Amino acid sequence: MEIDCGAGSFYDRIAGLYDITFKFNGYSRSLEKYLEEHLPPLPAQARVLDAGCGTGLLTLALLKVLDQPLRITAIDLSSSSLATARRAVAENSGRTQSVRFAQANLLQLPFADDSFDLIMTSGVLEYVPLSEGFTELARVVRPGGYMIHLPVRPSPASKLLEVMFRFKAHPPREVEQQTSKHFRVVKHHRFPPLEPIGWTKTAVLAQKF
């Protein structure tokens, strides 16, 4: 089953709004702080996939907090979002050689099995059948590798985002069940209530069996 390409064209139209919305409400600072405190151990030249990178918030946060050499592949269905992410990395990190951007479908990832040491994903599994999304992400992370997932949690604020960005949050119990099919949950993190990211998101660090 493929992602509805309408999601990609929708984000092509609103990439600028999306970037402003999540850049200036403190999301970037919250992500950097989270990664500083919870990033799992990674090998030298770690292979990282930012699955559904949007305008690059997670990729940029990782580049800012991790000094060691690494190889990030950032994918998204929206070409406009990828262009925004590419500019953000060039203007704010100076590490463009560390990141490769590609337009790709989450449910048909163009990578071999066990290709990555770490997968990060936020705001994309809400657009796909959860079981199929997790199965495909798990396929491309190596055994013992990690996933950082920021699912949308039910709240009044997330209801507003569902309308604005045309997605549907999965029930937390279903997210937990699908995660546990492929990964061992290392830590489930709740962001401080005064941080806007905590109004709609949690963070899950998990390790592949």
Mean pLDDT, rounded, for 52-75: 95
Six-digit token string for 133: 């999304």
Residue pLDDT, tens place only, 111-164: 999 999 999 999 999 999 999 999 999 999 999 999 999 999 999 999 998 998
- CB atoms under 10 Å from CB of 162, counted, come to 16
Q: Which residue has the tokens 């060039």?
A: 90
Average per-residue pLDDT for the chain: 90
CATH superfamily of 5-208: Vaccinia Virus protein VP39 (3.40.50.150)
Check residue 21 and give its pLDDT.
Answer: 57
Distance CA 106, CA 108 (A): 6
Check residue 22 and give its pLDDT.
Answer: 57
Check residue 139 and give its pLDDT.
Answer: 98
Mean pLDDT, rounded, for 56-63: 95
Least confident residue range of 19-33, 85-99, 142-156: 19-33
Q: Residue 137 carries which side chain, given as an amino acid letter?
A: L
Least confident residue range of 69-73, 84-88, 133-137: 84-88
Q: Where are the domains of the chain?
A: 5-208
Rg (CA), the chain: 15
Query: What residue ranges in the chain does DSSP mark as E strands?
Result: 46-51, 70-76, 99-103, 116-122, 141-150, 183-189, 203-208
Check residue 165 and give its pLDDT.
Answer: 85
Check residue 3 and give its pLDDT.
Answer: 42
Percentage, residues of the chain above pLDDT 70: 88
Q: Environment class of residue 5 by beta-carbon count within 10 Å: exposed (0-12), middle (13-18) or buried (19+)?
A: exposed
Does the pLDDT at position 17 exceed 60? Answer: no
Mean pLDDT, rounded, for 12-36: 73
Quick one: CA torsion of 130, 36, 158, 125, rounded to 10 degrees? Answer: -20
Residue 8 — φ and ψ, nearest 5°? -65, -45
Six-digit token string for 14: 């609103």
Check residue 197 and give its pLDDT.
Answer: 94
Mean pLDDT, rounded, for 22-51: 91
Evaluated on CA atoms 195, 27, 128, 59, the torsion sign reads negative
